[in-house]
A and B are shown apart, each in its own frame.
Chain A
Amino acid sequence: MSTVEPDLVASRASETELTAPRRSVLGLLRPVARWLTILLLALLYGFPLYWTVTMAFKPLDEWNPPGTIFWWPENWTLDNFKSILGQEVSGGGVFSQGKLDSAVPYIQNSLIAATGGSLLALVVGVLAAYGIARFRAGGGMLPFQILQLRMFPPIAIIIPLLFMFVYLQLWDTLWGLVILYGAVTFPFVVWLMRSFFQEVPREISDAAIVDGCTHWGAFFKVVLPQVKGGLAATALFVFILNWSDFLIALVMTQDNARTAPVFLSALQGGAAGQEYGKQAALAVILILPPAIFGLAIQKYLVRGLTFGAIKR
């Protein structure tokens, strides 16, 4: 062994010299290529957002005039917002009268359906996840069985669901949407919360039980506070999913329960014409609820809540 040693050390040293950055063309290209890729991706993702937000504040004549592109609104206006929210606006649109359908009732529907559906998924999902994580409810396969529910793309089962809902008189009702949104996001809640519950050491709920709590008491007083961060993240995730749903709402609603995303798509064609500015304004408004929700629960999206409870 000892005779081989010096050679091995020497050869390894020279290997490392080769891989260290050298003053060669190849060496310089690498960071440049990296930065180019980053820039490209940033543009790809950032541009639509930038375009939409600026469009929302552009007056009619800047939307899509032939020959020029307005990269930045010259005459900032709130008319698009006003119009989409139901106010009369002078000057009107090119293809419609000054007044559009107000988007307000559709935004309301979206809020109710998304919030209700998310709450339903969270309540049922969190309890299920705790049962699975702590008590191995349903045997080892239950988590997978639940996830399988989600492996069907909704579009594959939307027609049978439509028939079911019509039969149950849930079609085009907010209740129907709430139930459907709840059912469709329930597997996500179970999967996410299960892993958060698994991180809570068993002994903490044992300690609570020995200290006199019932299982429910231990759950609410001791375990749930431990997963505040995970719960917040899951709630936000599920809300965003439900809020931005298009397919289910498209099929399952018409005049009564139509949600904002469906309304937004209706703005794109037909009678309303290409009202870019108003579409952009609605899009900007629709970003707000998830963003506000996220900001509100920001302090819970914090790791390290169990620090100090368990010694390693």
Chain B
Amino acid sequence: MASVRLENVTVRFGAVAALNDVSLAIDDGEFVAVLGPPGAGKTTLLRTIVGLEKPESGAVFADDENITEMYPGDRDIAIMFQNLALYPDRNVYDNLAFPLKQARTPKAEIKRRVADTAAVLHIDHLLKRKPGKLSGGERQRVALGRAMVRNPRVLLLDEPLSALDALLRLEMRVELKRLQRDVHRTLVYVTHDQIEAMSMPDRVAVLGSGVIQQVDTPENVYHRPANQFTATVVGSPPMNFVPCTFGTSDGVVRVVHPDFSVRVLSTTSAPGAIVDGASCVLGVRPEDVQIGTGNGGAPASVFVTEPLGGETVVDLHLGGLVVKALTPPALAPAPGSDVRVSFDPRRLHVFDAATGAAVVSAGGADGVFEVEGPSIG
């Protein structure tokens, strides 16, 4: 186990900065997920930590030792690649034993460690088979085993579950979490699947266009996103963004939209962040959009409903925008109907329209926002 630290790391491919002044500190034994859309730089981040990419500037530390110039094989960091990269002409045993053979481990020791690793991952009955004869899930586990068999101080996983079908992914998610808990290793896990990023790690590092957006617990990333980008990356269906303007009159701050307004009761944002008349963006997640048919709230019309079984996604036209809401199936309005919408004040966010940074975030608390107008009937 070891701590990992990146300090101001920039990695460039040609003119493009895949990682731009990235700093990240991961504690000993921590499980950190790196979450971001494709192209954000997540794989580059892992490859830089393991040494397959050299940073143009900045340094990489493992246990406070500067390993930026160290050869990948010497860093005692193992990586499981997104496309597995199993050695196809060797059987499972030889795949698992390969790194140990390179380190000139004695044969008896190799045998023992391969057997232990195979047992933990339930692949001990497959040792004689070649990768071509394994199922997708079995190959994942062999690739994971090859990374684990060396007992590295840091384990890096690059989208390990992305090619599995939905059922297998569910199983493996629980397996991995249990494994990490039992084995207690520093784990850096890259994914674009926000469910994985929410349910497994201790902390999430959100990466976008080579820049770290926010590093925090999954809870905080979900309920208190630091900016619009982060707010979009977690949550399915993604957060709704409604362009509004700030209005300050008589010392009362409001977020104003032609069809509704929200009063800001308390804020810890910096002075000057809220300017009368400035554009801002109101963020609200679909599960916090309330639909009713009475007189309160803003007018909207339903154009499509997507029944997911346990809940239904209702797509609404609100003042020329598309807004998604989540409702229990029984309460979903019919497509084409006119409804009124309102928002849960404990779950609203206001973002700066220019920078996307969060200005005010309710984070689940009362007393931050108040939605004006009569409540939904």
Binding site for B on A (CB under 8 A): 201, 203-204, 206-214, 217, 222, 225-226, 305-312
Contact = CB atoms under 8 A, between A and B. Distances in A.
A311 B73 contact: no
B133 A308 contact: yes
A212 B71 CA distance: 9
B130 to A, nearest CB: 7
Given A206-B85, A210-B50, A210-B72, A308 B130 contact: yes
A256 B79 CA distance: 59
Interface of B: 47, 50-52, 72-73, 77-79, 81-89, 98-99, 102-103, 130-134, 136, 139, 146, 150, 163
Contact of A207 (B81, B103, B130, B133): B81
A207 to B, nearest CB: 4
B72 A311 contact: no
A243 to B, nearest CB: 30
Nearest to B134: A308
A309 B85 contact: yes
Given A211-B98, A211-B99, A309 B131 contact: yes
A201 B72 CA distance: 18
B99 A306 contact: no
A206 B81 contact: yes
A201 B88 CA distance: 11
A212 B85 contact: no
Contacts of B52: 206, 209-210
Identify which of B81, B130, B139 gathers the most chain A CB atoms within 10 Å of its CB: B81
A226 B81 CA distance: 18
Contacts, number: 79
B130 A203 contact: no
A309 B86 contact: yes
A242 B171 CA distance: 58
B87 A310 contact: no
A201 B83 contact: yes
Contacts of A307: 88, 131-132
A204 B81 CA distance: 9
Given A209-B73, A210-B79, A308-B132, A204 B87 contact: yes
Contact of B88 (A209, A214, A305): A305
A206 B84 CA distance: 11
B78 to A, nearest CB: 7
B91 to A, nearest CB: 11
Given A203-B81, A210-B50, A311 B163 contact: yes
A309 B84 contact: yes
A226 B47 CA distance: 23
Contacts of A306: 88
B132 A212 contact: no
Contact of A203 (B51, B77, B85, B134): B85
A212 B88 contact: no
Given A308-B131, A309-B131, A311-B136, A213 B73 contact: yes
A311 B89 contact: no
A211 B102 contact: yes
B85 A310 contact: yes
Nearest to A202: B85
Contacts of A312: 163
A222 B50 CA distance: 19
B103 A212 contact: yes
Contacts of B81: 203, 206-207
A210 B78 contact: yes
